[in-house]
Structure 1
Amino acid sequence: MHAEHEFPGRDPRAVLHPARDGHPDAGDLTGDVRVAVVGGGVAGLSAATCLAERGVTVTLMERENYLGGRVGGWSTELADGSRATMNRGFHAFFRQYYNLRALLRRADPRLSGLVALPDYPLVHSAGYRDTFAELPRTFPWNALAFVARSPTFGWRDLPRLGVRAALPLAQVSVPEIYHRLDHLDADALLGRIGFPAAAKHLAFEVFSRSFFAAPHELSAAELATMFHIYFLGSSEGLLFDTVADSFPEALWEPLGDYLEDLGVELRTSTPVSSLGHGTNRRFVLWTSAGREAEVDAVVLAPDPAGLRGIVHRSPELGRPWWRRALSRMREAPPFLVSRLWLDRPVRRDRPAFLGTSGYGPLDNISVLERYERQAAWWAGRRGGSVLELHGYALREDVRPRQLRTRMLAELHRIYPETRQAGVIDERHELRADCPLFPPGGFSGRPTVTTPERGLVLAGDAVRVDLPVALMERAATTGVCAANALLHDWGLRGHPLWSVPTRGRSALLRSLNASP
């Protein structure tokens, strides 16, 4: 595991957010300290890890029968009799995900559960193709190199840009960017800047939809923050790692063993229905098994719907304004992950991950045997391929059967060799449980701390004023939730790292700040 003050990646301008000092271990306190963590996804696992490492007694309760939440996996039997681990689709572990990677390093110091992808090209149905391989990692050289070789955005387009409107993209500071741009949607911001239509569709729309929302449903501030994290504000680069095997085997089983060695009680298949004030300790929880042992604090880290439900069924909690704010949390539109086990392989030059635009509901294609050991074993044994098709920001009334024919047709357009392939088996996961960050929503987002002392929130829907997103926001809020409780007990917290908290160019910062 990295030392607390060692740079977590390649960027020498990564920012350390030091931990508050205090007692090193809960053993220094009078009496034991007990915490219930509700939700076994990235945020809950992060919080449980940070608490247990300070000697806190932790019970983690997870509704599903597996850890990992939206990055979890479960076993399924295929039509040919073999077993496979299904999940909710491809996940990119960017090198900027400092706090998530620090969590995984607890059990896997070398991050051997991840594998690097050499590129992830983007293609448009009109014939355009962009790539991020071999780009410089640091702004402005990465942006200049992208413009120099992109077929959708060239030097001739630069004079047509609305430079003043574009400045916030290059000079993000959190939370100030939300005060400036949260009233706009991402599509309106891109219109003001005047990006060429092809670049807007191939780069920006693919980017927005990969974060579960169409540009007109996404806050412009959220888009600007994401560009800062992944491209303009960090020198870690745009390439990423993905999981080298099934999610449980590569990620969560090792971390679960680490937590159990620390004394954490891991209880899967344990949905929490509500909580209230205890008699001897601050809180009591009710699960499907009934009343649980009382605890001193609770970390609520379920998905947005789970959080709303628990709070709704817990009338003693919080203040009316806080409860109303939680009730207004929205989910992003549905997305579909379709996994196909084919009886023949795709061409050897097909990338592991391909982003698409202009191909109807199909947003990307993954070739799993390029990176996942389990899929590679199956493909080698059967002489086939394991493909994953993703469709994001779908209509609310969509059904997998309706989309299957269309998505297969688009797959055949992009990878014509699949037209002759037989489908040995298939799985379709239609979900609508990711948070939506709509225009104007920032001020109402729930924060880590709550009006209820000893009750904290964690998850990718929770506000934290650092430049983080997606899994990294979940991991970061988990650390913040643990730190808030540790501080209350006088215990030492855990440090956090982030990409630079403002744009890298002093000149652009000055121009952006001028009226």
Structure 2
Amino acid sequence: MTTATAPPLGRDPRRVRYPARPGRMDVGDSGTRPTAVVVGAGIAGLSAATGLAERGFRVEVIERERYLGGRVGGWTERLADGTPVGMNRGFHAFFGQYYNLRKLLSRSDPELSNLHRLDDYPLIDAEGRRDTFRNLPRTPPWNALAFALRSPTFRMRDLVRMDARAAAPLAAVSVPGIYHELDQLDADTFLRRINFPEAARHLAFEVFSRSFFVEPRQMSAAELAAMFHIYFLGSSEGLVFDVARDNFDVSLWTPIADHLTAAPSAERPGRVEFHTGTAIAEIEARESGFVVTDDTGATLAADAVVLAVDVPALRAIVAHSPTLGDPEWRTRVGGLGNAPAFAVLRLWLDRPLRADRPSFLGTGNLDPLDNISILDHYERTAADWAREHGGSVIELHAYAAAETTPGRAAQRILRDRLLARLREIYPESAAAGIVGEHLLWRQDCPRFAPGDFARRPGVRTPDPRLMLAGDGIRVDLPVALMERAATTGWLAADLLSQEWDGAGHSLQTVPSRGRSTLLRTFATRERRS
């Protein structure tokens, strides 16, 4: 599959720009430089740290893992023969709509040369039906219409049979209004209610819903509708995406860390220091600020704090920090839930797959497999290993694989089922020997179940100098997944900067409501009928 250089930071002329709030560009220019502690060095934490450093804060970033990037982090493993190989938690798609994430990455890579664009990511189902995003028009609603009409799972008669009134929210999404309208309903019930064809549910919506690590019956219909808006009807950035040219640490986070720890400059007057392999046990709010205590008992004083950790860590820190927030806020944090456990099986094979196999293949109704990635097609470290050994590096994903991480026997069964699916879909893989493999299980992604939105805590907390950030944090903007993490990180930095009369940062999103006047008029009429 061919690739191209990633496009610039937004080409949709109707994307929404939120101008930066005016204020001081350096809150430490008077001689006193405030200290901010950012807990978590994932996308949200790195965005917050960047925003704070650019406004003159002294920033201490504390990360539990020994690598940066959080759930998009990369590290080194060793095969049985001692060969070092890149490893991460699995494939991530960097869509053109991810304006605020791309803004972060551009700080160390202005041309986004460490990303490159795939020309397609086909989807297949158990019946052999295949969808493609290649050469679709970019402009809504023609992009979604063209995708539906050329899909083998969707015919014009299906469009006629759909319940127009029930489907109206899909045609005219508004954020946050869609959550008030649909968040109490699960996505599977919603799709059945509008009479969406079953085959298309498996091949289109289910593939995307499972990118939230849940099955449609466990996912909020509002989240599904918002996602449909972000990727289809709300944006003309297109439906294909970028991938990192190398393992995430090499392509993304080492350059960001080098940028942030370099000598201060006019553009970034603050200083950033990273502390990896350190977990936070407790945070105490005091009249003069905060005292942050790690799991060794060491303490750090801070004027401001951003909690940019995953859901289990956030719940634990707040539970052990009784001086933070108020009872209502603490209840919201304690009520945050996790998505089911997921698995990633990475294989180092002794022979390549067919050259025409796509870099990324999404699957529908092919349990337990959700996608296959051929890393040596696009990731430099994997390509180097494959070239040297005449082999291939393959990644198999199983989202929502179990309610909780299972025991060894169940993990082995899932591993074998994933391998069987790979050999069924790509028969030539059956002849390949496995030089090395790594099966990774995790359960730390946020839950987006029906009813969660109203109870989810937002970036602001009862303390104006304590902020939350992450993809599980509420923000009333049309953003999702990695882009939600980046957006909340920038917002957390800006809200803290405001406490010191600091300037904000400009942000961008897709439009917050359906961009087609025709579809909005149609949806309004159907709702009233």
Q: Which moved more, 1:139-148 or 1:97-106?
A: 139-148
Measure the CA separation in 1 of the matches of 2:491 and 2:28.
Answer: 21
Q: 1:271 aligns with which of 268, 279, 298?
A: 279
Q: What is residue 132 of structure 2 aligned with on the other side? A: 131
Q: Which amino acid aligns with 1:105?
A: S
Q: Which amino acid aligns with 2:435?
A: I
Q: What SS is found at the alignment partner of 2:293? A: strand
Q: What SS is found at the alignment partner of 1:285? A: strand
Query: Which string of whole-angstrom CA distances, capped at 9 and with x for unpartnered residues, describes residues 218-241 of structure 1?
Result: 000000000111111100011000
Tell me the CA shift for residue 30 of structure 1: 6.0
Does residue 1:462 correspond to 2:473, yes or no?
Answer: yes
Query: Which string of whole-angstrom CA distances, capped at 9 and with x for unpartnered residues, describes residues 414-437 of structure 1?
Result: 000011111111001111100011
What number of residue pairs does the alignment pair up? Answer: 508
Query: Which string of whole-angstrom CA distances, capped at 9 and with x for unpartnered residues, describes residues 231-262 of structure 1?
Result: 11100011000110011110000000111024
CA RMSD of aligned residues (A): 1.2
Q: How many percent identity over aligned positions?
A: 59
Query: Which string of whole-angstrom CA distances, capped at 9 and with x for unpartnered residues, describes residues 290-348 of structure 1?
Result: 24231111000010000000000001111111111111110001110000001111111
Q: What is residue 174 of structure 1 aligned with on the other side? A: 175
Q: What SS is found at the alignment partner of 2:306? A: strand
Q: What is residue 438 of structure 2 aligned with on the other side? A: 427
Tell me the CA shift for residue 27 of structure 1: 2.7
Q: What is residue 511 of structure 2 aligned with on the other side? A: 500
Q: Which moved more, 1:102-111 or 1:283-292?
A: 283-292
Q: Is the 8 A contact 2:464 2:496 kept in 1?
A: no
Show the 5 A alignment for 1:163-312: 163-261=164-262, 262=264, 263-278=271-286, 281-312=288-319
Does residue 1:384 correspond to 2:391, yes or no?
Answer: yes
Q: Which amino acid aligns with 1:481?
A: A
Does residue 1:327 correspond to 2:371, yes or no?
Answer: no
Measure the CA separation in 1 of the matches of 2:412 and 2:227.
Answer: 33
Q: Is the 8 A contact 2:343 2:441 kept in 1?
A: yes
Q: What SS is found at the alignment partner of 1:58? A: strand
Q: 1:474 aligns with which of 462, 475, 485?
A: 485
Q: What is residue 490 of structure 1 aligned with on the other side? A: 501
Q: What SS is found at the alignment partner of 1:12? A: coil
Q: Is the 8 A contact 2:141 2:232 kept in 1?
A: no
Q: Is the 8 A contact 1:278 1:294 kept in 2?
A: no
- Normalised by the size of structure 1, how large is the TM-score? 0.97
Measure the CA separation in 1 of the matches of 2:211 and 2:490.
Answer: 25
Query: Which string of whole-angstrom CA distances, capped at 9 and with x for unpartnered residues, describes residues 352-409 of structure 1?
Result: 0000122220110000011000100111111111000000112225342120111111
Measure the CA separation in 2 of the matches of 1:80 and 1:133.
Answer: 40
Q: Is the 8 A contact 1:170 1:233 kept in 2?
A: no
Q: What is residue 4 of structure 1 aligned with on the other side? A: none
Tell me the CA shift for residue 147 of structure 1: 2.6
Q: Which amino acid aligns with 2:492?
A: A
Q: Is the 8 A contact 2:185 2:450 kept in 1?
A: yes
Q: Which moved more, 1:261-270 or 1:85-94?
A: 261-270
Measure the CA separation in 1 of the matches of 2:300 and 2:201.
Answer: 54
Does residue 1:414 correspond to 2:425, yes or no?
Answer: yes
Q: Which amino acid aligns with 2:47?
A: S
Measure the CA separation in 2 of the matches of 1:243 and 1:317.
Answer: 38
Measure the CA separation in 1 of the matches of 2:278 and 2:434.
Answer: 36
Q: Is the 8 A contact 1:319 1:451 kept in 2?
A: yes
Q: Is the 8 A contact 1:284 1:291 kept in 2?
A: no
Q: 1:396 aligns with which of 400, 403, 414?
A: 403
Q: What SS is found at the alignment partner of 2:28? A: helix
Measure the CA separation in 2 of the matches of 1:355 and 1:148.
Answer: 19
Does residue 1:353 correspond to 2:360, yes or no?
Answer: yes
Q: Which amino acid aligns with 2:160?
A: P
Q: Is the 8 A contact 2:422 2:429 kept in 1?
A: yes
Q: Which amino acid aligns with 1:252?
A: W
Q: Which amino acid aligns with 1:9?
A: G
Tell me the CA shift for residue 29 of structure 1: 4.2
Q: Which runs of 4+ in 1 moved over 3 A?
A: none
Measure the CA separation in 1 of the matches of 2:222 and 2:401.
Answer: 22
- Normalised by the size of structure 2, how large is the TM-score? 0.94
Q: Which moved more, 1:290-299 or 1:206-215?
A: 290-299
Which consecutive unaligned segments of at least 5 residues does structure 2 have? 1-7, 265-270
Query: Which string of whole-angstrom CA distances, capped at 9 and with x for unpartnered residues, describes residues 118-154 of structure 1?
Result: 1000001111100001000111211221133111101
Q: What is residue 4 of structure 2 aligned with on the other side? A: none
